[in-house]
Amino acid sequence: MSNKWIISDPNIMMGKPVVKGTRITVELILEKMSAGETIEQIIREHPRVTKDAILAALEFAAGAIKADVVYPVGSEKE
């Protein structure tokens, strides 16, 4: 996946994927959106982040989840 908006540099946020030119992590964007924040709210709080960058962060995360990895989650019995 080629993503011009998302980079990972060991010198920035310990190598976590971030929006290029910022210290805004993909993780932070996902947390904010899962808490119900809109793209517009995120942009207001972080003016250096664009709608395209947020969508790229979502695309990056979706691609990461597609990896052949087992993600342990709680069972319905818990």
For the chain, the domains span 6-65
- Count of beta carbons in the 10 Å neighbourhood of residue 49: 21
Q: What's this model's pTM, rounded to 2 decimal places? A: 0.83
Each residue's pLDDT tens digit, 1-54 = 458 999 999 999 999 999 999 999 999 999 999 999 999 999 999 999 999 999
- Supply the pLDDT for residue 76: 62
- Supply the pLDDT for residue 1: 46
- Supply the pLDDT for residue 75: 62
CATH 1.10.10.10 given to domain 6-65: yes
Phi, psi of 53, deg, nearest 5 = -65, -40
CB 19 within 8 A of CB 28: no
d(CA 35, CA 69): 25
- Supply the pLDDT for residue 73: 74
d(CA 46, CA 27): 14
d(CA 21, CA 65): 24
